[in-house]
Structure 1
Amino acid sequence: MRRERPTALLVDLDGVLRRWDPEVAAGAERRHGLPSGALVETAFDWPLLRAAVTGQLSHAEWMTAVVDRLTERAGGRDTAQAAVDEWQAYRGEVDPDVLELVRAARTAGVRVGLATNATDLLDADLKLLGLTEEVDAVVNSSKLGVHKPAKEYFPQACLAIGAPPARVLFVDDDDRSVRGARAAGLSAYRWNGPDDLRYLRAALAL
């Protein structure tokens, strides 16, 4: 069955609209004597990360837990804290090509929302990155209390963007989230990089 053209676009933040330079974490680890990959491995341990992105822990509490776990590996709490502080001072960079797509979509009358697994630091990050006024809605998992790709997430995201699932195009760099969106009735596209922009523009008739 032919799908209707999307009237709304939901875009993942991290990995799509926001890029992260892995050298920042690697540099902090080298300077503070941590094993390679220790920061991301510790912070993204799923039970801990899940608590942060569903609002059970604040961002600050999440980072305190990371410091606690890294203290022995870093040879002391002060060293672990310094490494985490240096890593966290970097808040990523906006992908200008994806931002251009977002702006073009909104100009064409397509409502755009951010659909992201994030902490309570998200609003501050969006302000810092200059993204607050660039989207029509922000769907933050920590405010909903449910994360992608849980089936309960996507109906809430569609409500926030003001469009039925069949008229929403969802873009994410995570396969599980893409599958979850499709199961919820959205069109979903797996983001691989800037070469995908041509397809997305065509799908949105831009």
Structure 2
Amino acid sequence: MPDVVLFDLFGVIARRQSPAAKRTVAATVGVPAPAFWDVYWRLRAPYDLGQITGAEYWRWVATALGTVFDEDRVTALIAADVASWSAIDDDMVALIERTAAAGVRLALLSNIPEDLAAYYERHHGRWLRHFDLVAFSCRIGRAKPDADAYLWCCRELGLAPDRVLFIDDRAENVYAAERLGLHTHLFTGPAETAQVIDATRPQPEPDGRRA
């Protein structure tokens, strides 16, 4: 039985960017969307790892697109980008709260830049407090699917990989964790996730004793 459930954030607890939110970001950039999104993701890793600031990231994006963003545009882009990742799944938050109330240890591992991490700490502390460990890539200098991101969490939790259940919506992240010996679940929705978590908990025997 795993001792800790290690959650991904985006695509599991928080929602991925909606089409409307993506249009807002692209409109703020002011260049054709296909070219922009290619650069957005291609340059993202150092930002997620905390190696550059949001302002530096967006100036890199501007350079790659052959343009220049002034300070006001950079500020607007940081705000639009954060807003595009800010929606959460209320059903998953409720599941986290129920799971924590049942005595299950929880941890969080997310690829996330500092601007967005700070936003979640300011606005979602009510449910973030349920996690014994919050591992934001920008703070720990490691990002999925790098093996050391998972191993860092295991070391901080004081657990061997086979004592951890990892839940993520991206197959490449799940496979990377599985190769290290973590139990894994590819997220498809709250109902299935609840069943998987329940299956990891000891069940009482007929006479009331724990199995």
- The yes-or-no answer on 1:124 pairing with 2:121 is no
- The yes-or-no answer on 1:169 pairing with 2:161 is no
- The yes-or-no answer on 1:88 pairing with 2:88 is no
- The yes-or-no answer on 1:190 pairing with 2:186 is yes
Identity of aligned residues (%): 27
Deviation string 1:94-123 (CA, Å, 9 cap, x unpaired) is 211111121122112211111111222344
Query: More displaced, 170-179 or 58-67?
Result: 58-67
Distance 1:27 1:59 in 2: 17
Structure 2: give runs of 5+ residues left out of the alignment: 203-211
Distance 1:7 1:99 in 2: 20
Structure 1: give runs of 5+ residues left out of the alignment: none
- The yes-or-no answer on 1:100 pairing with 2:103 is no
Task: Identify if the C-alpha distance between structure 1 residues 53 and 86 changes in structure 2 by more than 3 Å, giving closer, same or farther.
Answer: closer
Distance 2:107 2:155 in 1: 11
Q: CA deviation at 1:63?
A: 2.5
Query: 43, 48, 51: which is aligned to 1:53?
Result: 48
Q: CA deviation at 1:52?
A: 1.7
Structure 2 partner of 1:41: 38
Q: Secondary structure of 2:145's partner?
A: coil
Query: What TM-score results when the alignment is normalised by the length of structure 1?
Result: 0.81
Q: CA deviation at 1:31?
A: 6.5
Query: 56, 59, 62: which is aligned to 2:57?
Result: 62
Query: More displaced, 176-185 or 129-138?
Result: 129-138
Is the CA contact (8 Å cut-off) linking 2:6 and 2:106 kept in structure 1?
yes
| CA RMSD after TM alignment | 2.7
Distance 1:25 1:77 in 2: 18
Structure 1 partner of 2:205: none
Is the CA contact (8 Å cut-off) linking 1:12 and 1:114 kept in structure 2?
yes
Structure 2 partner of 1:77: 69
Distance 2:198 2:5 in 1: 13
Deviation string 1:73-107 (CA, Å, 9 cap, x unpaired) is xxx63596476245225141121111112112211
Q: CA deviation at 1:198?
A: 4.0
Q: CA deviation at 1:39?
A: 4.3
Q: Secondary structure of 2:5's partner?
A: strand
Distance 2:25 2:140 in 1: 32
Amino acid at match of 1:137: L
Is the CA contact (8 Å cut-off) linking 2:54 and 2:78 kept in structure 1?
no
Q: Secondary structure of 1:114's partner?
A: strand
Task: Please tell me whether Structure 1 or Structure 2 has the larger radius of gyration of its CA atoms.
Answer: 2
